Amino acid sequence: MGNEPLTASLERVFGYETFRPGQQAALEALEAGNDSLAILPTGAGKTLIYQLYGYRHAGCTVIVSPLLSLMADQVDRMRLGGFRRSAAITSQTSYTDRQTILDQLADLQFLFLSPEMLAQPKMLTRIKQLTISLFVVDEAHCIVQWGPDFRPEYLLLGAIKEQLGNPLTLMLTATAGQATRQEIAKQLRSQPTIVTESVNRANIFLDVDRVNDEADKKERLQQLVSRLQGPGVIYFSSKQLATDTAEWLQATTGVRAAAYHAGLSGEDRFKIQQQFMSGELDLICATSAFGMGIDKNDIRYVIHYHLPGDLESYAQEIGRAGRDGQPSVAILLYAPGDEQLPLALGQANRPDEAEIAQYYAQPTKFDDSEPTVHLLAFYRQHGISQAAVQRLFVKREQERNRALAGMVAYAREDHCLRQRWLAAFDEQAPAHTEDCCAPQATPLDIGRLDLGRVVNSADKATPMDWQTQLARLF
Amino acid sequence: MGPADLLQLLDQTQPRRVRAIENLLRGRRTVSTLYWGQRYQLLALLSLAKQLDRGALDAAAQQVVQQGLASWDANHERLVLTPRGLAAQQSATYFHPQTADWWPTIDLMTARQRILLAVQVASQFSHHAGHYLPLTTDMATRQFVRNWFHQVKANDLGTQVLAALTTSLAKLDPLVAAVVTGQFTGYQQAGQTLGQLSQTTQRTPWEIQLMQFEGLAQIMQDAKAPTNPFNSLLQPLWQTPVSRSAQITLNTVKQGQTLAQIAGERRVKVSTVREHLLEAAIMLPLAAFPYDRLLAPATRDQFKAVVQGPVDDWQYTELPEALQKQYEFFYFRLYAIWVGKQGEQHGK
C-alpha cells in the first residue's frame, strides 16, 4: 500500500476525492520520513491524517491524548469509521478491560494512551515491543499549557519518544503561535515540518460584551440566549456553574439546554452529545472538555462566560462555531476583574518558593496525593534540583501572565478584535469593517448578523405515552 | 441524595444510624452495615449508590433536622422521625418500589448496562441501521451483548423485544414505565439522562434511580421465561446475595466442620469465619441458614431469659458476666439476627 498515491488511499478508505487544506501537506511530510507539526483549525480533519497514515503503513499508530474521559468516545468513533483494531488505555480503564487490551496489543492498529499511562515503566516496556508506525501527540499545545504545572508527564514525552527508538512523529493542534510551536518541537526533540493554515474564520463575527459585574453578566447572558438562533455553546470554567446555568436558562428562556463536562458519566455524555447532534438540544453549557469529537457543523454561537487563560484556548473554543461556513458569532462576556479567576486557577496548583524549599528539605513528610506535592515529587524523582524547579515555576508564572495579558488585551480592545486576535498568531487581519467584529464599546447587532432566534413550534415536542415511545424504537 | 429521599428511609420508632444507611448504599459489606441494613429493612439498597462519597448523606440529614422532620439521638448518630416528619413521609407521593425484595439477588448495575445496550442494538437492527455509535459500556458488556445479538438475531427481533418490554413495563406504575422507556437509546432516539428525567417528571434523581431499578428487576424477572428474547442475556445476572467467600464458608459448615477446622483449612482467622457466617445469616432466609447447628435451642433460651426490650437496644456488654464468658459476641449477634428474622417471618 506504501506505493499507492495518497489520493487513491483517501478515496479507498474515506470515499473523498480531495483532501482538505493541510491534510495532504502533513501526510506528504510523513511519507517522506519527516516529523510533522500540523496546526489546523478545529474541524479541519486532523484525525484523518493519522488514520490514513496508519492505514497505509504496517505497525501500530500510538496516539497520546490528554482528555481521559473522551478517549473511549474517540475509540468508538474510530471503530465506527471502520478502524476496528483501535483501543484506549487510561487511568479510567478498568483492570479487566486493560488486561484484554494488553493481550491483544500486537494486533492493534491504533492505540490511544494518556501521557501518564505511557510514562508508567511497565506500560512503556510493553509499548517498546510494538512496531510503531507513527507516534502522534494530539492536542500538542497541552505540552506547553499543562505540562509544567498541571500534568508534568507531558514533559517526559521527548525522552519517551527516544526510548521508543524515535518513531516518526505527528504533532497536532488547532492553535499554536510561534512560541508554542518552538516549545512543542523542543520538548519532543524534533525538527518537524510545520504545516499550518490560517486560524482566521471570516464567517465568525467577534464580539466582546462589556458588563459591570456578575449580576449584569447573568442578565446579559439570559438576553443573548433568548435572542440568538441556536444551536449554541456557552463555555464556563466551573462544572457546577455550567450545570446550574443550563437549568436556569432552560427554565427562564425556554431553550432546551444541558450541561456537558468531564464529570458526567460516559452514558450521560453519550446521550447529551447525541441530543445536541440531532437537534433535540439548542444549547450546551460546557467546560473545556466539550469539543473534541463533536462533529456538529451548524453551531451558530459560542459564548464565553469566563475569561479563558490565553488566546490559544479561546481560538480553539470559538472555532467550534460555524464550521459549515455560515454566519456565526463568538461572544466574550467581560466584567472588570474577570482576569482574577484564570489567575487564581493558574496559581492554585503552583507551589511558592517556601513550599518548594520545605518539600525538598523533607520530601517524605508530604502527602503525594495533593496535586502540588505530586508535581514536586515528579520533579524531584526526575532529578531536577530545587533551584531549577524554582526557576521553572517563576518562568511558568511569567508565561501564564503574559498569555493572560494577551487575552485581557483582546477583551479591552477598542478598535478591531480580529486584528488583535490574529496578531497573537503572527497573522495579518483583513481590513476592519462593520462585518468583522464589535469591540467592547460597540453594541452587538443580532438582527444585522441575521442570527435572530426563530422559535420553531416543532421544538416543543408533545409528550408521548410510553407505549408509543417504545414502539417507535422498534 | 436529598432530604426528601432520606426522609423515606427513616422511622418514627426506630432510631436509624445515618452512617449505616450511607455505608449500605455505598456497598460497604461489613457485618455491622449489613446487620443494621436488616434491622432497618433496607437491605434492598445495598450497593445501589457506590459512587457516593463518605459523608454524602450528612447534608440531607442536617436538612431534615432543620426542617423539624427528624431529630438526633443524644450521640448525634441516629435519626428518628418527629410526628411532623412522619406526616410528611406519609403524605409525600414518593415512589415505593414493589420489586425491592429481588434487588439483592440481581447484579443490577450489569443488568442495566446490558439491557440498555441490547435495546439500542435491537432498535437499530430493526430499522436496518448498521452504522451507529454504541452506548459507552465496559468491554465485557459489549462482548456479552454482541454474542447475545448473534445468537438471537432474527428478522422479528425488534418485534420480540418490543413485546417483551411492553409486557414487563405494563405490570408497573405508568410513571416507572415512562422513566424506563425514556432512558432507552436507539434508532433516532438519543435517550434521556437520569438528570433530565428527574427534571421532566419533577421527581428527585434518587426516585428516578429507584424507578429504573424497579423496571430492570421486572424485566429480569420476566426474562426467566426461556421464550423471552432477553433470557440468555440476563439469566446469568441472578446471584446469591451472599459474597463468594461467605458462601464457601457456609457450605463447609453445613457439611459439619467446626469453625476452627474451617479457619485452619481456609487459612483465615476464626473471626473471619464468623463474619462470613453472620453475613450469610443476615442475607439469607431463616431456612437457608443452619441456626440449629450454630445456635442450639438451649443457647437461645439462655439469651431469651436475660434480654429485654426492643432488639435494637440489646447490648452484649449488659449481659450477665457468666453468659458473656460462655458465649462470645458472635452468638449474641446471631441470636439477634434469628429473633429479627422470626419477626419478619411473622409479618412484623
Q: Could you tell me if A192 and A208 lie in one domain?
A: no
Distance CA A87, CA A108 (A): 7
Alpha helices (H) in B9-107, listed in sequence order: 18-25, 31-39, 58-66, 83-91
Q: What are phi and psi of A418, to 5 degrees?
A: -65, -40
Distance CA A447, CA A455 (A): 15
Alpha carbon B88 to its chain centroid, in Å, reads 25
**For residue A206, what are the β-bridge partners?**
A330, A437
- Which H helix or E strand runs over B283? helix B270-283
Question: Over the stretch B258-312, which tens digit does the pLDDT of each residue have?
Answer: 889 989 988 889 999 999 999 999 999 999 999 998 999 999 999 999 988 889 8
Q: How many angstroms away from the CA of A117 is the closest CA of chain B? A: 19
Q: Could you tell me if A178 and A59 lie in one domain?
A: yes
pLDDT for residue B348: 41
Domain boundaries, chain B: 3-94, 102-237, 242-290, 295-348
Note whether B203 and B245 are within 8 A (CB): no
Q: Could you tell me if A214 and A279 lie in one domain?
A: yes
CATH of the domain at A190: 3.40.50.300
Distance CA A414, CA B112 (A): 55
Instruction: From A196, A230, A253, give the residue that closes a domain.
Output: A196
Distance CA A452, CA A228 (A): 5
Is B193–A272 a contact, with Cβ atoms under 8 angstroms apart? yes
A248 has a chain B CB within 8 A of its CB: no
B165 has a chain A CB within 8 A of its CB: yes
pLDDT for residue B347: 44
pLDDT for residue B97: 96
Q: Could you tell me if A86 and A128 lie in one domain?
A: yes
Q: Could you tell me if A215 and A126 lie in one domain?
A: no
Q: Could you tell me if A212 and A326 lie in one domain?
A: yes
Is B190–A271 a contact, with Cβ atoms under 8 angstroms apart? yes
Is B162–A473 a contact, with Cβ atoms under 8 angstroms apart? yes
Note whether B197 and B182 are within 8 A (CB): yes
Alpha carbon A23 to its chain centroid, in Å, reads 19
B287 has a chain A CB within 8 A of its CB: no
> Residue A301 half-sphere exposure, CB side, CA atoms within 13 Å?
29
Decide yes or no: CATH 1.10.10 for domain B3-94.
yes
pLDDT for residue B346: 56
Among partner residues A76, A467, A474, which is closest to B123 by beta-carbon distance? A474
> Which chain B residues are Cβ-neighbours of A266 within 8 angstroms?
136-137
Neighbours of A18 (CB within 10 A): 10
Is B136–A280 a contact, with Cβ atoms under 8 angstroms apart? no
pLDDT for residue A345: 78
Q: What is the DSSP string of A219-261?
A: HHHHHHHHHB-S-EEEE-S-HHHHHHHHHHHHHHH---EEEE-
A383 domain-assigned: no
Is A467–B166 a contact, with Cβ atoms under 8 angstroms apart? yes
> Which chain A residues are Cβ-neighbours of B214 within 8 angstroms?
none
> Which chain B residues are Cβ-neighbours of A473 within 8 angstroms?
119, 123, 126, 158, 162, 184, 186-187, 189
Q: Could you tell me if A187 and A313 lie in one domain?
A: no
Is A474–B191 a contact, with Cβ atoms under 8 angstroms apart? no
pLDDT for residue A459: 53
Distance CA B194, CA A325 (A): 35
Note whether B136 and A270 are within 8 A (CB): yes
Closest chain A residue to the Cα of B125, Cα to Cα: A474
Note whether B193 and A268 are within 8 A (CB): yes
Longest dimension (CA), chain B: 76
Note whether A311 and A405 are within 8 A (CB): no
Among partner residues A275, A469, A474, which is closest to B190 by beta-carbon distance? A275
> Which chain A residues are Cβ-neighbours of B178 within 8 angstroms?
465-466, 469
Residue ranges of chain A whose pLDDT lies below 70? 1-2, 43, 69, 147-148, 291-294, 456-462
Q: Could you tell me if A191 and A208 lie in one domain?
A: no
Residue ranges of chain B whose pLDDT lies below 70? 344-348
A95 has a chain B CB within 8 A of its CB: no
Q: Could you tell me if A332 and A448 lie in one domain?
A: yes
Alpha carbon B190 to its chain centroid, in Å, reads 29
Instruction: From A146, A178, A196, give the residue that closes a domain.
Output: A196
Q: What distance, in Å, lies between the first and last C-alpha atoms of chain B? A: 28
Helix (H, G, I), strand (E, B) or coil at B347: coil
A128 domain-assigned: yes
- Which H helix or E strand runs over A195? strand A193-196
Q: How many angstroms away from the CA of A267 is the closest CA of chain B? A: 6
Among partner residues B126, B135, B138, which is closest to A474 by beta-carbon distance? B126
Q: What are phi and psi of A17, to 5 degrees?
A: -95, -30
Alpha carbon A318 to its chain centroid, in Å, reads 11
Q: For residue A448, what is its C-alpha cell?
A: 444585522
A36 domain-assigned: yes
- Which H helix or E strand runs over A435? none
Helix (H, G, I), strand (E, B) or coil at B302: helix
Residue indicated by cell numbers 461467605: B246
- Tell me which DSSP letter residue B287 carries: G
Q: For residue A18, what is its C-alpha cell?
A: 480531495
Q: Could you tell me if A118 and A155 lie in one domain?
A: yes
Q: Could you tell me if A215 and A256 lie in one domain?
A: yes
Among partner residues A72, A271, A471, which is closest to B185 by beta-carbon distance? A271
Is A466–B177 a contact, with Cβ atoms under 8 angstroms apart? yes
Instruction: From A196, A229, A244, give the residue that closes a domain.
Output: A196
Helix (H, G, I), strand (E, B) or coil at A111: strand
* Domain encompassing residue A40: 6-196
Closest chain B residue to the Cα of A279, Cα to Cα: B190
Among partner residues B131, B189, B199, which is closest to A472 by beta-carbon distance? B189
Q: One-letter amino acid identity for A204?
A: I
Among partner residues B140, B187, B196, which is closest to A473 by beta-carbon distance? B187
Domain count, chain A: 2
